[in-house]
Amino acid sequence: MATILEVKHLTKRFVDNEVLKDVSFELKKGETLAVIGSSGSGKSTLLRCLNHLSKPDTGEILLEGVDINGPGINLNTVRADMGFVFQDFNLFTHLTILDNVMFGPLRVRGQSKQEAEEIAMEEIKRVGMVNKIKSYPAELSGGQQQRISIARALALKPKLILYDEPTSALDPELTGEVLSVMTALANDGMTAIVVTHEMGFARSVADKVIFIDQGVIVEQGDPKEMFKRPRHDRTKLFLSNFVNLE
């Protein structure tokens, strides 16, 4: 499979705190990459650097071989090509569910209203929310809002999708519906990077895992292998916090 994303020597510093140190990895089309690590390890910052929600200080990000910071590249187009799903959903409060999902095709991609609606309905179907299209975000549960925010990202027809702790703001009984939508998408061949504390998901759905600690990639590789036989002590220590993985 073709490489879709290549990250080379990324660094990011907030004042005198170096959050990312020389981070490099790559991702192939259709793969799901899970990024794990403790809070404050830099994993969310890494994700936010990928679409320049935070500007990295040095390093390169190549999307399908093109440097996204290169000359003549419109960052907004790059962002539209990378769907982003936030921890706290961030749906547009004044718009109905249908309008939220139509927003990308209509206002970002400049498609017609009819096209936008067709795309939106298709994605809303995909996350199983067709009966709620006329509702407003405030009328939905957290899990439902997160599913809609996934549909909103998908409606842009992104090349890959970035999930920033998509279930961390949810009650435990609501994480399941979101994870199963994400799993179904992964099985459909959607390329994704997931920053997550859901080790079960990382182990069973991801094709690849990165363990990040204090801004450094400590270990990366096959999830089953890493969860069974972590090579580094820090990885071992981190994974020992999740007792019921088996």
Partner 1 sequence: MEIIKILISELPQFAKGTLVALQLLAGLLSVGLVLGLAIALAEIFGNPVLKFLATTLRKFLWAIPQLILLFLVFYLPFDLNRMVAAIIALGLCSSAFQSQIFRGAILSVSSGQMEAAKAMGLSRPRTILYIVLPQMVRLSIGPWTNEFSSELKDTSLAYVVGVVEIMRNAKYIIAYTYGNTAAVYLFVGVLYFTLTRIGTFFFYKLEDRLWVPGFEKRS
Return the range that interacts with partner 1 (CB under 8 A); candidates 61-69, 83-91, 115-123, 235-243: 83-91
Q: Residue 139, interface with partner 1 (CB under 8 A)? A: yes
Binding range to partner 1, per CB under 8 A, among 77-85, 126-134, 183-191, 195-203: 77-85
Contacts of residue 39, Cβ cutoff 8 Å, sequence gap at least 6: none
- Fill in the DSSP letter of residue 209: E
Cα–Cα–Cα angle for 209, 211, 212, nearest 5°? 140
Distance in angstroms (rounded) separating the CA atoms of residues 171 and 168: 8
The secondary structure of 4-57 as a DSSP string is EEEEEEEEEEETTEEEEEEEEEEEETT-EEEEE--TTSSHHHHHHHHTTSS--S
Contact pick of 86, 118, 121, 214 for partner 1 (by CB under 8 A): 86
Least separation in angstroms between CB 107 and partner 1: 6
What x/- string results for residues 151 through 190 when contact with partner 1 is judged by CB under 8 A?
-xx--x----------------------------------
- Which stretch in 57-65, 73-81, 117-125, 216-224 sits in contact with partner 1 by CB under 8 A? 73-81
Question: Site mask, partner 1, residues 28-67, x = CB under 8 A?
Answer: -----------------------x-x--------------
Q: What letter does residue 81 receive in the DSSP assignment?
A: H
The answer to whether residues 194 and 163 touch, using CB atoms and an 8 Å cutoff, is yes
